[in-house]
Structure 1
Protein backbone atom coordinates (compact mmCIF):
# COMPACT_ATOMS: atom_id res chain seq x y z
CA UNK A 1 0.00 0.00 0.00
CA UNK A 2 2.80 2.36 0.94
CA UNK A 3 4.65 1.42 -2.26
CA UNK A 4 1.62 2.24 -4.40
CA UNK A 5 1.30 5.68 -2.77
CA UNK A 6 4.99 6.31 -3.38
CA UNK A 7 4.62 5.37 -7.05
CA UNK A 8 1.67 7.75 -7.46
CA UNK A 9 3.68 10.51 -5.79
CA UNK A 10 6.61 9.89 -8.16
CA UNK A 11 4.29 10.00 -11.17
CA UNK A 12 2.79 13.30 -10.00
CA UNK A 13 6.27 14.69 -9.43
CA UNK A 14 7.33 13.72 -12.96
CA UNK A 15 4.16 15.26 -14.46
CA UNK A 16 4.70 18.52 -12.54
CA UNK A 17 8.37 18.56 -13.56
CA UNK A 18 7.57 18.09 -17.26
CA UNK A 19 4.72 20.62 -17.12
CA UNK A 20 6.92 23.31 -15.57
CA UNK A 21 9.67 22.77 -18.14
CA UNK A 22 7.12 22.87 -20.99
CA UNK A 23 5.55 26.06 -19.61
CA UNK A 24 8.89 27.83 -19.28
CA UNK A 25 9.83 26.88 -22.85
CA UNK A 26 6.43 28.07 -24.07
CA UNK A 27 6.80 31.44 -22.35
CA UNK A 28 10.33 31.83 -23.72
CA UNK A 29 9.11 31.16 -27.27
CA UNK A 30 6.25 33.66 -26.84
CA UNK A 31 8.74 36.20 -25.49
CA UNK A 32 11.15 35.69 -28.39
CA UNK A 33 8.43 35.63 -31.05
CA UNK A 34 8.79 38.53 -33.44
CA UNK A 35 12.41 39.24 -32.45
CA UNK A 36 15.66 38.34 -34.16
CA UNK A 37 16.32 35.83 -31.37
CA UNK A 38 13.75 33.47 -32.85
CA UNK A 39 16.01 33.12 -35.88
CA UNK A 40 18.81 32.11 -33.51
CA UNK A 41 16.58 29.44 -32.03
CA UNK A 42 15.94 28.03 -35.50
CA UNK A 43 19.69 28.08 -36.17
CA UNK A 44 20.38 26.09 -32.99
CA UNK A 45 17.98 23.36 -34.11
CA UNK A 46 19.69 23.26 -37.52
CA UNK A 47 23.12 22.92 -35.87
CA UNK A 48 21.88 20.10 -33.62
CA UNK A 49 20.33 18.35 -36.61
CA UNK A 50 23.62 18.56 -38.56
CA UNK A 51 25.51 17.27 -35.52
CA UNK A 52 23.15 14.28 -35.30
CA UNK A 53 23.63 13.50 -39.00
CA UNK A 54 27.42 13.81 -38.71
CA UNK A 55 27.38 11.46 -35.70
CA UNK A 56 25.31 8.85 -37.51
CA UNK A 57 27.48 9.06 -40.64
CA UNK A 58 30.72 9.33 -38.64
CA UNK A 59 31.75 12.65 -40.23
CA UNK A 60 34.52 13.42 -37.76
CA UNK A 61 35.61 16.77 -39.17
CA UNK A 62 32.05 18.12 -39.11
CA UNK A 63 31.62 16.78 -35.59
CA UNK A 64 34.72 18.60 -34.34
CA UNK A 65 33.60 21.89 -35.90
CA UNK A 66 30.10 21.67 -34.46
CA UNK A 67 31.44 20.71 -31.04
CA UNK A 68 33.45 23.94 -31.04
CA UNK A 69 30.31 25.86 -31.99
CA UNK A 70 28.44 24.21 -29.11
CA UNK A 71 31.24 25.01 -26.63
CA UNK A 72 31.59 28.71 -27.56
CA UNK A 73 27.99 29.27 -28.72
CA UNK A 74 26.52 30.28 -25.32
CA UNK A 75 29.13 33.03 -24.92
CA UNK A 76 28.31 34.38 -28.38
CA UNK A 77 24.59 34.26 -27.59
CA UNK A 78 25.03 36.29 -24.41
CA UNK A 79 27.05 38.94 -26.25
CA UNK A 80 24.84 39.20 -29.32
CA UNK A 81 21.46 39.06 -27.60
CA UNK A 82 21.92 41.22 -24.53
CA UNK A 83 18.72 43.29 -25.17
CA UNK A 84 16.49 40.21 -25.43
CA UNK A 85 18.02 38.60 -22.35
CA UNK A 86 17.71 41.83 -20.39
CA UNK A 87 14.05 42.16 -21.42
CA UNK A 88 13.37 38.57 -20.30
CA UNK A 89 14.99 39.18 -16.91
CA UNK A 90 13.03 42.41 -16.49
CA UNK A 91 9.77 40.60 -17.20
CA UNK A 92 10.67 37.91 -14.68
CA UNK A 93 11.40 40.64 -12.13
CA UNK A 94 8.05 42.35 -12.78
CA UNK A 95 6.25 39.02 -12.60
CA UNK A 96 4.84 39.42 -16.10
CA UNK A 97 6.81 36.45 -17.42
CA UNK A 98 4.41 34.04 -15.72
CA UNK A 99 1.28 36.14 -16.24
CA UNK A 100 -1.47 34.99 -18.58
CA UNK A 101 -1.96 36.45 -22.04
CA UNK A 102 -5.50 37.59 -21.19
CA UNK A 103 -4.20 40.84 -19.72
CA UNK A 104 -2.20 41.71 -22.82
CA UNK A 105 -5.19 40.84 -25.01
CA UNK A 106 -7.34 43.18 -22.94
CA UNK A 107 -4.76 45.93 -23.30
CA UNK A 108 -4.65 45.44 -27.10
CA UNK A 109 -8.46 45.45 -27.17
CA UNK A 110 -8.61 48.75 -25.28
CA UNK A 111 -5.85 50.30 -27.40
CA UNK A 112 -7.70 49.29 -30.58
CA UNK A 113 -10.92 50.93 -29.45
CA UNK A 114 -9.05 54.02 -28.26
CA UNK A 115 -7.26 54.40 -31.61
CA UNK A 116 -10.48 54.09 -33.64
CA UNK A 117 -12.43 56.49 -31.42
CA UNK A 118 -9.65 59.10 -31.36
CA UNK A 119 -9.24 58.93 -35.12
CA UNK A 120 -12.97 59.16 -35.86
CA UNK A 121 -13.44 62.03 -33.41
CA UNK A 122 -10.50 63.93 -34.89
CA UNK A 123 -11.71 63.43 -38.46
CA UNK A 124 -15.30 64.27 -37.55
CA UNK A 125 -14.32 67.63 -36.07
CA UNK A 126 -12.36 68.49 -39.23
CA UNK A 127 -14.89 66.94 -41.60
CA UNK A 128 -12.47 64.45 -43.07
CA UNK A 129 -14.44 61.68 -44.77
CA UNK A 130 -13.60 58.13 -43.70
CA UNK A 131 -14.81 54.56 -44.24
CA UNK A 132 -13.50 51.98 -41.76
CA UNK A 133 -14.48 48.30 -41.93
CA UNK A 134 -13.58 46.01 -39.05
CA UNK A 135 -13.40 42.34 -40.03
CA UNK A 136 -15.27 39.83 -37.88
CA UNK A 137 -16.08 36.18 -38.67
CA UNK A 138 -16.75 36.68 -42.41
CA UNK A 139 -13.52 36.61 -44.41
CA UNK A 140 -12.83 39.91 -46.19
CA UNK A 141 -10.12 38.59 -48.50
CA UNK A 142 -11.95 39.47 -51.74
CA UNK A 143 -12.30 43.11 -50.66
CA UNK A 144 -8.78 43.34 -49.23
CA UNK A 145 -7.40 42.34 -52.63
CA UNK A 146 -9.02 45.42 -54.22
CA UNK A 147 -6.97 47.77 -52.03
CA UNK A 148 -3.38 48.57 -51.12
CA UNK A 149 -1.73 46.29 -48.50
CA UNK A 150 -0.77 48.11 -45.30
CA UNK A 151 -0.30 45.37 -42.67
CA UNK A 152 0.59 47.93 -40.03
CA UNK A 153 -0.23 48.16 -36.35
CA UNK A 154 -3.36 50.20 -35.74
CA UNK A 155 -2.72 53.66 -34.28
CA UNK A 156 -4.95 56.71 -34.45
CA UNK A 157 -2.16 58.63 -36.19
CA UNK A 158 -1.81 56.08 -38.99
CA UNK A 159 -5.57 55.63 -39.38
CA UNK A 160 -6.14 59.39 -39.57
CA UNK A 161 -3.27 59.97 -41.97
CA UNK A 162 -4.68 57.46 -44.46
CA UNK A 163 -7.86 59.54 -44.91
CA UNK A 164 -6.19 62.94 -45.30
CA UNK A 165 -7.66 64.41 -48.51
CA UNK A 166 -5.66 64.42 -51.75
CA UNK A 167 -3.44 61.53 -50.68
CA UNK A 168 -3.19 58.26 -52.64
CA UNK A 169 -4.99 56.12 -50.03
CA UNK A 170 -7.78 58.41 -48.82
CA UNK A 171 -10.37 57.23 -51.35
CA UNK A 172 -11.95 53.90 -50.43
CA UNK A 173 -12.22 51.85 -47.25
CA UNK A 174 -9.69 50.81 -44.64
CA UNK A 175 -10.07 47.19 -43.50
CA UNK A 176 -8.98 46.36 -39.95
CA UNK A 177 -8.44 42.93 -38.41
CA UNK A 178 -8.08 43.07 -34.61
CA UNK A 179 -5.30 45.63 -34.03
CA UNK A 180 -3.89 45.60 -37.57
CA UNK A 181 -4.70 47.83 -40.53
CA UNK A 182 -4.72 45.20 -43.25
CA UNK A 183 -5.36 47.33 -46.34
CA UNK A 184 -6.51 50.77 -47.48
CA UNK A 185 -8.26 52.17 -50.56
CA UNK A 186 -10.45 49.05 -50.73
CA UNK A 187 -13.62 48.93 -52.81
CA UNK A 188 -16.79 47.80 -51.04
CA UNK A 189 -20.04 46.76 -52.72
CA UNK A 190 -22.68 49.51 -52.90
CA UNK A 191 -26.07 48.74 -51.42
CA UNK A 192 -28.98 48.76 -53.83
CA UNK A 193 -31.57 49.07 -51.08
CA UNK A 194 -34.30 51.62 -51.95
CA UNK A 195 -34.78 52.45 -48.27
CA UNK A 196 -31.48 54.32 -47.91
CA UNK A 197 -31.99 58.07 -47.61
CA UNK A 198 -31.17 60.02 -50.75
CA UNK A 199 -29.12 62.47 -48.69
CA UNK A 200 -26.57 59.77 -47.89
CA UNK A 201 -23.54 59.52 -50.16
CA UNK A 202 -21.33 56.77 -51.55
CA UNK A 203 -19.58 56.02 -48.24
CA UNK A 204 -22.86 55.24 -46.50
CA UNK A 205 -24.05 53.10 -49.41
CA UNK A 206 -20.75 51.19 -49.40
CA UNK A 207 -21.01 50.70 -45.63
CA UNK A 208 -24.56 49.37 -46.00
CA UNK A 209 -23.46 47.17 -48.91
CA UNK A 210 -20.69 45.44 -46.96
CA UNK A 211 -23.01 45.02 -43.95
CA UNK A 212 -25.49 43.17 -46.17
CA UNK A 213 -22.95 40.56 -47.32
CA UNK A 214 -20.81 40.16 -44.16
CA UNK A 215 -20.90 40.57 -40.40
CA UNK A 216 -18.25 43.31 -40.44
CA UNK A 217 -18.76 46.48 -38.41
CA UNK A 218 -18.25 49.58 -40.56
CA UNK A 219 -17.78 53.15 -39.33
CA UNK A 220 -18.46 56.15 -41.56
CA UNK A 221 -17.29 59.72 -40.97
CA UNK A 222 -19.26 62.15 -43.12
CA UNK A 223 -17.22 64.62 -45.14
CA UNK A 224 -20.19 67.01 -45.38
CA UNK A 225 -21.38 67.09 -41.76
CA UNK A 226 -18.58 65.43 -39.76
CA UNK A 227 -21.12 63.06 -38.16
CA UNK A 228 -20.22 59.46 -37.32
CA UNK A 229 -22.39 56.50 -38.31
CA UNK A 230 -22.11 52.71 -38.04
CA UNK A 231 -23.49 49.77 -39.99
CA UNK A 232 -23.70 46.07 -39.28
CA UNK A 233 -25.96 43.26 -40.47
CA UNK A 234 -27.83 45.59 -42.83
CA UNK A 235 -28.65 48.18 -40.14
CA UNK A 236 -27.53 51.81 -40.11
CA UNK A 237 -27.14 53.84 -36.93
CA UNK A 238 -26.56 57.53 -37.63
CA UNK A 239 -25.12 60.53 -35.77
CA UNK A 240 -23.57 58.69 -32.84
CA UNK A 241 -21.46 60.48 -30.25
CA UNK A 242 -18.10 59.41 -28.84
CA UNK A 243 -19.55 57.50 -25.88
CA UNK A 244 -21.95 55.60 -28.12
CA UNK A 245 -19.13 54.73 -30.50
CA UNK A 246 -17.09 53.29 -27.61
CA UNK A 247 -20.12 51.24 -26.51
CA UNK A 248 -20.72 49.86 -30.01
CA UNK A 249 -17.06 48.94 -30.46
CA UNK A 250 -16.91 47.17 -27.10
CA UNK A 251 -20.12 45.27 -27.78
CA UNK A 252 -19.10 44.15 -31.26
CA UNK A 253 -15.32 43.68 -31.21
CA UNK A 254 -14.97 41.52 -28.11
CA UNK A 255 -15.47 38.31 -30.09
CA UNK A 256 -12.67 39.33 -32.49
CA UNK A 257 -10.12 39.18 -29.69
CA UNK A 258 -11.63 36.22 -27.82
CA UNK A 259 -11.67 34.19 -31.06
CA UNK A 260 -15.25 33.12 -30.46
CA UNK A 261 -18.11 33.65 -32.93
CA UNK A 262 -20.83 36.17 -32.13
CA UNK A 263 -24.09 34.37 -31.27
CA UNK A 264 -26.67 34.58 -34.06
CA UNK A 265 -29.42 35.76 -31.74
CA UNK A 266 -27.56 39.00 -30.98
CA UNK A 267 -28.15 42.13 -32.97
CA UNK A 268 -25.46 44.51 -34.18
CA UNK A 269 -25.65 46.66 -31.03
CA UNK A 270 -24.54 43.66 -28.93
CA UNK A 271 -27.94 43.06 -27.29
CA UNK A 272 -30.18 40.04 -27.60
CA UNK A 273 -33.05 40.27 -30.06
Structure 2
Protein backbone atom coordinates (compact mmCIF):
# COMPACT_ATOMS: atom_id res chain seq x y z
CA UNK A 1 0.00 0.00 0.00
CA UNK A 2 1.08 3.53 -0.74
CA UNK A 3 2.69 5.33 2.15
CA UNK A 4 3.59 2.16 4.04
CA UNK A 5 7.19 1.03 4.44
CA UNK A 6 7.73 -2.71 4.31
CA UNK A 7 11.53 -2.61 4.61
CA UNK A 8 11.34 -4.53 7.87
CA UNK A 9 10.01 -7.54 5.90
CA UNK A 10 13.09 -7.77 3.70
CA UNK A 11 14.97 -11.01 4.23
CA UNK A 12 18.42 -11.81 2.83
CA UNK A 13 21.03 -14.53 3.23
CA UNK A 14 22.74 -12.71 6.13
CA UNK A 15 19.47 -12.82 8.06
CA UNK A 16 19.24 -16.55 7.41
CA UNK A 17 22.79 -17.09 8.70
CA UNK A 18 21.99 -14.93 11.72
CA UNK A 19 18.93 -17.05 12.57
CA UNK A 20 20.82 -20.32 12.10
CA UNK A 21 23.69 -19.18 14.33
CA UNK A 22 21.29 -18.05 17.06
CA UNK A 23 19.47 -21.40 16.83
CA UNK A 24 22.78 -23.27 17.15
CA UNK A 25 23.77 -21.13 20.14
CA UNK A 26 20.42 -21.73 21.87
CA UNK A 27 20.66 -25.48 21.24
CA UNK A 28 24.27 -25.50 22.49
CA UNK A 29 23.27 -23.75 25.71
CA UNK A 30 20.27 -26.06 26.12
CA UNK A 31 22.43 -29.16 25.71
CA UNK A 32 24.75 -27.87 28.44
CA UNK A 33 22.06 -27.05 31.02
CA UNK A 34 19.71 -29.94 30.22
CA UNK A 35 19.12 -32.21 33.23
CA UNK A 36 21.26 -29.97 35.44
CA UNK A 37 20.52 -27.67 38.36
CA UNK A 38 20.83 -24.72 35.98
CA UNK A 39 17.33 -25.49 34.65
CA UNK A 40 15.85 -24.88 38.10
CA UNK A 41 17.90 -21.69 38.45
CA UNK A 42 16.65 -20.37 35.12
CA UNK A 43 13.07 -21.22 36.12
CA UNK A 44 13.53 -19.38 39.42
CA UNK A 45 14.88 -16.29 37.67
CA UNK A 46 11.97 -16.40 35.20
CA UNK A 47 9.48 -16.52 38.10
CA UNK A 48 11.20 -13.53 39.75
CA UNK A 49 10.99 -11.61 36.47
CA UNK A 50 7.26 -12.31 36.15
CA UNK A 51 6.75 -11.34 39.80
CA UNK A 52 8.54 -8.04 39.16
CA UNK A 53 6.23 -7.10 36.29
CA UNK A 54 3.14 -8.16 38.28
CA UNK A 55 3.98 -6.14 41.42
CA UNK A 56 5.11 -3.22 39.26
CA UNK A 57 1.81 -3.15 37.36
CA UNK A 58 -0.11 -3.33 40.65
CA UNK A 59 1.93 -0.39 42.01
CA UNK A 60 3.21 -2.41 44.98
CA UNK A 61 6.09 -0.05 45.55
CA UNK A 62 7.87 -1.86 48.39
CA UNK A 63 8.05 -5.22 46.62
CA UNK A 64 8.92 -3.51 43.35
CA UNK A 65 11.86 -1.73 45.00
CA UNK A 66 13.12 -4.94 46.62
CA UNK A 67 12.94 -6.99 43.41
CA UNK A 68 14.42 -4.19 41.29
CA UNK A 69 17.42 -3.99 43.65
CA UNK A 70 17.86 -7.72 43.25
CA UNK A 71 17.64 -7.47 39.47
CA UNK A 72 20.06 -4.52 39.30
CA UNK A 73 22.95 -6.90 39.95
CA UNK A 74 21.61 -9.38 37.42
CA UNK A 75 24.72 -9.71 35.22
CA UNK A 76 27.04 -10.26 38.18
CA UNK A 77 24.57 -12.72 39.71
CA UNK A 78 24.32 -14.61 36.43
CA UNK A 79 28.10 -14.97 36.21
CA UNK A 80 28.31 -16.23 39.81
CA UNK A 81 25.32 -18.56 39.67
CA UNK A 82 26.10 -20.04 36.27
CA UNK A 83 29.88 -20.19 36.68
CA UNK A 84 30.04 -24.00 36.16
CA UNK A 85 27.84 -23.82 33.05
CA UNK A 86 29.81 -20.86 31.61
CA UNK A 87 33.03 -22.76 32.19
CA UNK A 88 31.63 -25.87 30.50
CA UNK A 89 30.43 -23.72 27.58
CA UNK A 90 33.89 -22.23 27.04
CA UNK A 91 35.54 -25.64 27.35
CA UNK A 92 33.16 -27.07 24.75
CA UNK A 93 33.95 -24.19 22.40
CA UNK A 94 37.66 -24.89 22.82
CA UNK A 95 37.17 -28.58 22.15
CA UNK A 96 35.03 -27.90 19.10
CA UNK A 97 37.43 -25.63 17.26
CA UNK A 98 38.52 -26.44 13.73
CA UNK A 99 42.05 -27.35 14.78
CA UNK A 100 40.81 -29.82 17.39
CA UNK A 101 38.41 -31.48 14.98
CA UNK A 102 40.96 -31.43 12.18
CA UNK A 103 43.52 -33.08 14.44
CA UNK A 104 41.09 -35.84 15.33
CA UNK A 105 40.14 -36.30 11.65
CA UNK A 106 43.75 -36.69 10.55
CA UNK A 107 44.35 -39.06 13.44
CA UNK A 108 41.44 -41.25 12.41
CA UNK A 109 42.51 -41.16 8.76
CA UNK A 110 46.19 -41.99 9.16
CA UNK A 111 46.49 -43.50 12.63
CA UNK A 112 43.18 -45.15 13.46
CA UNK A 113 44.79 -48.44 14.44
CA UNK A 114 47.23 -46.69 16.74
CA UNK A 115 44.41 -44.71 18.36
CA UNK A 116 42.30 -47.83 18.88
CA UNK A 117 45.28 -49.67 20.35
CA UNK A 118 46.08 -46.78 22.70
CA UNK A 119 42.46 -46.58 23.81
CA UNK A 120 42.40 -50.31 24.49
CA UNK A 121 45.55 -50.07 26.60
CA UNK A 122 44.02 -47.24 28.64
CA UNK A 123 40.59 -48.78 29.06
CA UNK A 124 41.45 -52.46 29.56
CA UNK A 125 42.78 -52.08 33.16
CA UNK A 126 39.61 -50.18 34.08
CA UNK A 127 37.35 -52.83 32.54
CA UNK A 128 39.31 -55.62 34.24
CA UNK A 129 39.09 -53.85 37.61
CA UNK A 130 35.33 -53.39 37.17
CA UNK A 131 34.96 -57.10 36.39
CA UNK A 132 36.71 -58.03 39.62
CA UNK A 133 34.76 -55.50 41.69
CA UNK A 134 31.48 -56.66 40.16
CA UNK A 135 32.32 -60.25 41.06
CA UNK A 136 33.30 -59.36 44.64
CA UNK A 137 30.56 -56.72 44.97
CA UNK A 138 33.05 -54.03 45.85
CA UNK A 139 31.50 -50.57 45.63
CA UNK A 140 33.38 -48.13 43.41
CA UNK A 141 33.00 -44.72 41.82
CA UNK A 142 35.37 -43.85 38.97
CA UNK A 143 35.09 -40.39 37.44
CA UNK A 144 36.61 -39.48 34.08
CA UNK A 145 37.32 -35.83 33.33
CA UNK A 146 38.92 -34.40 30.21
CA UNK A 147 40.05 -31.24 31.99
CA UNK A 148 41.35 -31.80 35.51
CA UNK A 149 40.41 -28.89 37.76
CA UNK A 150 43.14 -28.69 40.39
CA UNK A 151 41.20 -26.31 42.60
CA UNK A 152 37.99 -28.35 42.48
CA UNK A 153 39.46 -31.80 43.10
CA UNK A 154 42.58 -31.38 45.21
CA UNK A 155 40.68 -29.61 47.99
CA UNK A 156 38.70 -32.77 48.74
CA UNK A 157 40.92 -35.56 47.37
CA UNK A 158 44.11 -37.44 48.04
CA UNK A 159 46.52 -36.82 45.16
CA UNK A 160 47.69 -40.02 43.45
CA UNK A 161 48.95 -38.99 39.98
CA UNK A 162 49.73 -42.61 39.13
CA UNK A 163 49.52 -44.89 36.11
CA UNK A 164 46.16 -46.50 35.44
CA UNK A 165 46.34 -50.12 36.56
CA UNK A 166 43.91 -52.85 37.57
CA UNK A 167 45.66 -53.57 40.87
CA UNK A 168 45.82 -49.92 41.89
CA UNK A 169 42.09 -49.44 41.29
CA UNK A 170 41.25 -52.63 43.17
CA UNK A 171 43.49 -51.69 46.10
CA UNK A 172 41.93 -48.23 46.36
CA UNK A 173 38.37 -49.57 46.52
CA UNK A 174 38.95 -52.65 48.67
CA UNK A 175 36.84 -52.33 51.80
CA UNK A 176 39.69 -51.91 54.28
CA UNK A 177 41.52 -49.26 52.28
CA UNK A 178 41.53 -45.77 53.84
CA UNK A 179 40.80 -44.39 50.35
CA UNK A 180 37.81 -46.56 49.43
CA UNK A 181 35.25 -43.92 50.44
CA UNK A 182 34.74 -41.34 47.73
CA UNK A 183 35.65 -41.31 44.05
CA UNK A 184 38.71 -41.95 41.96
CA UNK A 185 39.31 -39.26 39.33
CA UNK A 186 41.01 -40.25 36.06
CA UNK A 187 42.33 -37.64 33.65
CA UNK A 188 45.23 -37.24 31.22
CA UNK A 189 45.76 -41.04 31.18
CA UNK A 190 46.46 -41.08 34.92
CA UNK A 191 44.71 -41.77 38.18
CA UNK A 192 44.93 -38.20 39.39
CA UNK A 193 43.29 -38.50 42.80
CA UNK A 194 41.28 -40.75 45.10
CA UNK A 195 38.88 -40.51 48.03
CA UNK A 196 37.25 -37.48 46.40
CA UNK A 197 34.14 -36.01 48.00
CA UNK A 198 31.81 -34.98 45.18
CA UNK A 199 28.60 -32.93 45.19
CA UNK A 200 25.42 -35.00 45.31
CA UNK A 201 22.64 -34.55 42.79
CA UNK A 202 19.47 -32.77 43.90
CA UNK A 203 17.36 -34.82 41.50
CA UNK A 204 14.44 -36.11 43.58
CA UNK A 205 13.18 -38.43 40.82
CA UNK A 206 15.95 -41.01 41.20
CA UNK A 207 15.10 -44.51 42.40
CA UNK A 208 15.23 -44.86 46.21
CA UNK A 209 17.81 -47.65 45.97
CA UNK A 210 20.41 -45.20 44.65
CA UNK A 211 23.02 -44.64 47.33
CA UNK A 212 25.65 -41.96 47.81
CA UNK A 213 27.90 -43.35 45.05
CA UNK A 214 25.17 -43.14 42.43
CA UNK A 215 24.08 -39.69 43.58
CA UNK A 216 27.66 -38.41 43.63
CA UNK A 217 28.36 -39.84 40.16
CA UNK A 218 25.23 -38.24 38.74
CA UNK A 219 25.95 -35.00 40.60
CA UNK A 220 29.45 -34.52 39.19
CA UNK A 221 28.17 -35.29 35.68
CA UNK A 222 25.56 -32.54 36.10
CA UNK A 223 28.11 -29.90 37.08
CA UNK A 224 30.86 -30.72 34.56
CA UNK A 225 31.63 -32.69 31.42
CA UNK A 226 32.72 -35.64 33.56
CA UNK A 227 31.38 -39.16 33.15
CA UNK A 228 31.19 -41.63 36.02
CA UNK A 229 31.29 -45.41 36.32
CA UNK A 230 29.54 -46.71 39.43
CA UNK A 231 29.83 -50.26 40.76
CA UNK A 232 27.04 -51.07 43.22
CA UNK A 233 28.17 -52.59 46.51
CA UNK A 234 24.79 -54.26 47.04
CA UNK A 235 24.23 -55.85 43.61
CA UNK A 236 27.55 -55.53 41.77
CA UNK A 237 25.72 -53.91 38.85
CA UNK A 238 27.52 -51.26 36.82
CA UNK A 239 25.99 -47.87 36.05
CA UNK A 240 27.23 -45.11 33.74
CA UNK A 241 26.42 -41.46 34.42
CA UNK A 242 26.75 -38.64 31.89
CA UNK A 243 25.17 -35.16 31.77
CA UNK A 244 22.97 -35.96 34.76
CA UNK A 245 21.55 -39.12 33.20
CA UNK A 246 22.41 -42.65 34.25
CA UNK A 247 22.40 -45.98 32.41
CA UNK A 248 21.87 -49.03 34.57
CA UNK A 249 23.01 -52.64 34.14
CA UNK A 250 25.77 -51.70 31.70
CA UNK A 251 27.57 -54.72 30.26
CA UNK A 252 31.34 -54.76 29.92
CA UNK A 253 31.04 -54.55 26.14
CA UNK A 254 28.83 -51.46 26.45
CA UNK A 255 31.15 -49.99 29.07
CA UNK A 256 34.13 -50.37 26.74
CA UNK A 257 32.26 -48.64 23.91
CA UNK A 258 31.09 -45.80 26.15
CA UNK A 259 34.55 -45.18 27.58
CA UNK A 260 36.13 -45.41 24.15
CA UNK A 261 33.69 -42.76 22.94
CA UNK A 262 33.77 -40.37 25.92
CA UNK A 263 37.19 -40.88 27.50
Q: TM-score, normalised by structure 2?
A: 0.55
Q: Does 1:231 align with 2:241?
A: yes
Q: 1:121 aligns with which of 124, 127, 131?
A: 131
User: In the alignment, is the contact (CA less than 8 A) between 2:218 and 2:245 conserved in 1?
Assistant: yes
Q: Which residue of 2 aligns with 1:241?
A: 251
Q: 1:189 aligns with which of 199, 205, 213?
A: 199
Q: Does 1:159 align with 2:138?
A: no
Distance 1:121 1:140, change over 3 A: farther
The alignment partner of 1:171 has SS state of: coil
Q: Which residue of 1 aligns with 2:189?
A: 179
For structure 2, the 5+ residue unaligned runs are 1-109
Q: Which residue of 2 aligns with 1:215?
A: 225
Hey, what's the Cα distance between the residues in 2 that align with 1:157 and 1:190?
28
Hey, what's the Cα distance between the residues in 2 that align with 1:104 and 1:158?
25
Hey, what's the Cα distance between the residues in 1 that align with 2:116 and 2:122?
10
Q: Which residue of 1 aligns with 2:149?
A: 139
**Shift, 1:102, TM fit:** 7.9
4+ residue runs over 3 A deviation: 100-108, 137-141
User: In the alignment, is the contact (CA less than 8 A) between 2:154 and 2:193 conserved in 1?
Assistant: yes
Q: Which has the higher contact order (CA 8 A, sep 6+)?
A: 2
Paired residues, what number?
154
Hey, what's the Cα distance between the residues in 1 that align with 2:251 and 2:245?
17
User: In the alignment, is the contact (CA less than 8 A) between 1:144 and 1:175 conserved in 2?
Assistant: no
Hey, what's the Cα distance between the residues in 2 that align with 1:153 and 1:216?
19
Hey, what's the Cα distance between the residues in 1 that align with 2:184 and 2:250?
20
The alignment partner of 1:189 has SS state of: coil
Aligned Cα root-mean-square deviation (Å): 1.9
Hey, what's the Cα distance between the residues in 1 that align with 2:112 and 2:254?
25
Q: Does 1:169 align with 2:179?
A: yes
Hey, what's the Cα distance between the residues in 2 that align with 1:150 and 1:101?
31
User: In the alignment, is the contact (CA less than 8 A) between 2:140 and 2:233 conserved in 1?
Assistant: yes
**Shift, 1:235, TM fit:** 0.7
**Shift, 1:163, TM fit:** 0.2
Hey, what's the Cα distance between the residues in 1 that align with 2:181 and 2:187?
19
Q: TM-score, normalised by structure 1?
A: 0.53
Distance 1:111 1:144, change over 3 A: farther
The alignment partner of 1:109 has SS state of: helix
Distance 1:141 1:132, change over 3 A: farther
Hey, what's the Cα distance between the residues in 1 that align with 2:177 and 2:240?
24
Hey, what's the Cα distance between the residues in 2 that align with 1:118 and 1:235?
24
Hey, what's the Cα distance between the residues in 1 that align with 2:254 and 2:150?
26
The alignment partner of 1:249 has SS state of: helix
